[in-house]
C-alpha cells in the first residue's frame, strides 16, 4: 500500500470487518445454545426465535462480504493484509452455515410431539452441544487474537465430538428398534445431532482459516476423523 | 477502470474465472449423478470415487477464490464488474457445498448392507435427483449466459423438489414402522434425500446470485417453500 493514509484507512476497514465478524460469531453462538435449549425444553417459541434470528446472521454475512470486497478494491492490499480480508469472508461463510444448522434444529422443535423423553439421549446431545459451542467460542477467540496454537487445538479436538455423535446414533437406533412409536422422535434427534456435528466441522474450517491467515498457505495435514455416523446406522441391520 | 489495457486485462481475468466456475459446475453435476447412481446400484467403488473426487471440487473453490480476490485487488473493478467477481465466488461456494453433499451420499453407499430394496422409494429418489440435477444444470447455464428469466424459473421451481422429499420421508417412515429391520437402511435414504433437497437449495442460491449480478441488489421476495420434512417425521407419531 502506497501511503500512510492508505495504510491507516486499511487498518480502519479491517477493524470494522473484524468487529462485524465478532458480532456475527456471538450471534451464531447464541443460536447454537438457544436451538438446543429449545429442543431439550420443547420450547416452541424459543425454536421460532432461533429461526427468525438466523436472518440476522445471513444479513451480517452479506454485509461482511460487501465490505470485504470494497476494501480489497479500494485499498489494494497485498499478501498478509489480503489474507486478513479473505479470512474474514471465509469465517463469515462458516458462521452463516452454523446459523442455518441451528435454524434447522429450531424448526424441528415444533415437530416434537411425542411424550418420549429419554434423559440419557438428551444429556448426550447437551454434552455434545457444550463441546461444540466451546469449540466455536475458542476458535473465534483464536481468530480475533491470531492465536494459531489455540486454533490448532480446536482443529484436532473435533474427533471427540464425532465420537459422541456416533455413539448417540447407535443409541437412537436401539430406541427405534425397540419401539416403533419412538421412530419419529428419534429421527428428529438424529438430524439435530448431525447438525451439531456439522457445526463442529465448521469450527474446524475456521481453525483452517486462522492457519491460512497466519501461515499464508492452506493446511495440508489430514484432520483426525472420529465420525462414523455414516456407518453407525448399519449396526442393527447386521 | 482507467485504461483500455486494464479493461482488457479485467475481461481476460473474468473469462478465466467464468471458465473455472463452469469446470467446477460440471464436476459438481457429475458428482450428484454418480453419487445417486452408486446408491441405487449399491456400487461401493463408484461411491468411493465420488468421495475422492470431492477434493477436486474443493481445490477449484480455493483457486476461484484466490483468483477472484487477486483480480479485485489488481483491477479495482467497480459496480457491475465487481458483482461479476463476487458472483463467481458465491457460485463457487454453493458448488463446494453441493460437492460435500454428494460426497456424503457416496460415503453412505458402503454402509448399505441390507437386502431391502424398495423399488418405489428408489424411483422416488431417482426422480428427485433428476429434477435437482436439471435445476443445477439450468441455473449454471443461466449464470454463464446472464439469463435472468431462466434463473428465476429455477428459483421458483424448488417447491416441487421439496414436495417430493416430504413425500419420500413419509413413505420411509411407514417402512420403518412396519419392520424394524428396515430402519437402518431407511435412515440412510432419509439423509440422502435430505442431501439432494439441500443441493436443490443451493441451486436456488445460485439463482439468487444471478439476480444479484444482473440487478445489482439482493432478491427480496420470499421463495415458495414446499419443504415439510422437518414436520413429516411427526405424522406416524400422532
ipTM comes to 0.84
Alpha-carbon distance values, B105 to A103, B49, B133, B182 (Å): 23, 12, 14, 18
**A66: closest CA of chain B, how far (Å):** 9
Q: What is the pLDDT of residue B235?
A: 36
More confident: A74 or B60: B60
Question: Which pairs from A7-10 meet CB under 8 Å and 24+ separation?
Answer: A9/A74, A9/A75, A10/A71, A10/A75, A10/A77, A10/A81
Q: What is the pLDDT of residue B227?
A: 55
Q: Please, how many CA atoms are within 13 Å of residue A97, restricted to the half-sphere of its CB?
A: 24
**A202: closest CA of chain B, how far (Å):** 12
**A141: closest CA of chain B, how far (Å):** 24
With beta carbons under 8 A apart, name residues in chain A contacting B233.
111, 184, 187-188
Rounded Cα–Cα distance for residues A236 and B19 (Å): 47
More confident: B41 or B1: B41
Q: Choose among B93, B176, B231: nearest Cβ to A183.
A: B176
- As given in the structure block, the three cell numbers for residue B137 are 444444470
Cβ contact B51:B106 at 8 Å: yes
Q: Touching check for A31 and chain B: CB below 8 Å?
A: no
Contact B72 A77 (CB under 8 A): no
Domains and CATH numbers, chain A: 4-237 (1.20.58.220)
pLDDT tens for A172-230 read 999 999 998 889 999 999 999 999 999 999 999 999 999 999 998 878 766 655 555 65
Q: Touching check for A180 and chain B: CB below 8 Å?
A: yes
Could you tell me the pLDDT band of residue A116, with boundaries at 50, 70 and 90? confident
Q: Touching check for A117 and chain B: CB below 8 Å?
A: no
Q: What is the pLDDT of residue A225?
A: 58
- In this prediction, residues A78-96 reach a mean pLDDT of 91
Torsion of CA A212, A214, A220, A224, to 10 degrees: -100
Cα–Cα–Cα angle for A146, B72, A145, nearest 5°? 5
With beta carbons under 8 A apart, name residues in chain A contacting B105.
none
Cβ contact B65:B21 at 8 Å: no
CB atoms within 10 A of CB A196: 25
Q: Which of B2, B59, B69 to mutate to test the interface with A (most CBs of A within 10 A)?
A: B69
Contact B176 A180 (CB under 8 A): yes
- Write down the mean pLDDT value for chain B: 89
A68 CB-contact burial (10 Å; exposed 0-12 / middle 13-18 / buried 19+): buried
A119 CB-contact burial (10 Å; exposed 0-12 / middle 13-18 / buried 19+): exposed
**B122: closest CA of chain A, how far (Å):** 18
Helix A119-145 and helix A183-215, axial crossing angle in degrees, nearest 10: 20
Q: Touching check for B103 and chain A: CB below 8 Å?
A: no
Q: What is the pLDDT of residue A69?
A: 87
pLDDT value at B8 more than 80: yes
pLDDT value at B112 more than 70: yes
Give one DSSP letter per residue of B193-221, joined into a string.
HHHHHHHHHHHHHHHHHHHHHHHSS---S
Cell match 458462521: residue?
Answer: A95
Torsion of CA B140, B99, B225, A115, to 10 degrees: 180
With beta carbons under 8 A apart, name residues in chain B contacting A77.
73
Q: Choose among A86, A104, A111: nearest Cβ to B69.
A: A86
pLDDT value at B90 more than 80: yes
Cα–Cα–Cα angle for B179, A112, B100, nearest 5°? 75
Q: Touching check for A4 and chain B: CB below 8 Å?
A: no
For chain B, percent of residues with pLDDT exceeding 70: 91
With beta carbons under 8 A apart, name residues in chain A contacting B112.
234
Q: What is the pLDDT of residue A5?
A: 80
pLDDT value at B195 more than 80: yes
Rounded Cα–Cα distance for residues B214 and B211 (Å): 5
With beta carbons under 8 A apart, name residues in chain A contacting B110.
230-231
Burial code of A199-217, b = ≥16 C-beta within 10 A, e = fewer? bbbbbbbbbbbbbbbbeee
Amino acid at each position: 500500500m502506497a501511503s500512510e493514509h492508505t495504510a491507516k484507512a486499511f487498518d480502519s476497514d479491517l477493524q470494522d470487518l473484524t468487529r462485524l465478524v465478532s458480532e456475527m460469531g456471538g450471534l451464531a453462538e447464541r443460536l447454537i445454545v438457544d436451538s438446543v435449549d429449545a429442543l431439550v425444553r420443547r420450547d416452541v417459541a424459543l425454536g421460532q426465535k432461533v429461526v427468525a434470528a438466523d436472518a440476522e446472521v445471513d444479513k451480517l454475512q452479506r454485509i461482511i462480504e460487501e465490505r470485504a470486497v470494497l476494501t480489497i478494491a479500494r485499498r489494494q492490499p497485498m499478501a498478509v493484509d489480503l489474507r486478513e480480508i479473505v479470512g474474514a469472508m471465509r469465517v463469515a461463510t462458516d458462521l452463516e452455515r452454523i446459523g442455518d444448522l441451528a435454524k434447522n434444529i429450531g424448526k424441528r422443535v415444533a415437530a416434537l410431539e411425542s411424550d418420549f423423553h429419554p434423559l440419557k439421549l438428551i444429556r448426550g446431545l447437551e454434552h455434545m452441544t457444550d463441546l461444540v459451542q466451546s469449540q466455536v467460542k475458542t476458535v473465534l477467540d483464536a481468530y480475533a487474537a491470531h492465536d494459531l496454537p489455540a486454533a490448532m487445538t480446536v482443529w484436532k479436538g473435533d474427533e471427540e465430538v464425532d465420537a459422541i455423535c456416533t455413539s448417540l446414533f447407535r443409541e437412537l437406533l436401539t430406541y427405534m428398534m425397540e419401539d416403533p412409536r419412538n421412530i419419529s422422535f428419534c429421527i428428529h434427534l438424529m438430524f439435530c445431532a448431525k447438525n451439531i456435528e456439522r457445526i463442529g466441522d465448521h469450527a474446524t474450517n475456521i481453525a483452517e482459516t486462522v492457519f491460512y491467515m497466519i501461515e499464508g498457505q492452506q493446511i495440508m495435514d489430514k484432520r483426525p476423523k472420529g465420525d462414523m455416523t455414516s456407518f453407525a446406522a448399519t449396526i442393527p441391520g447386521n
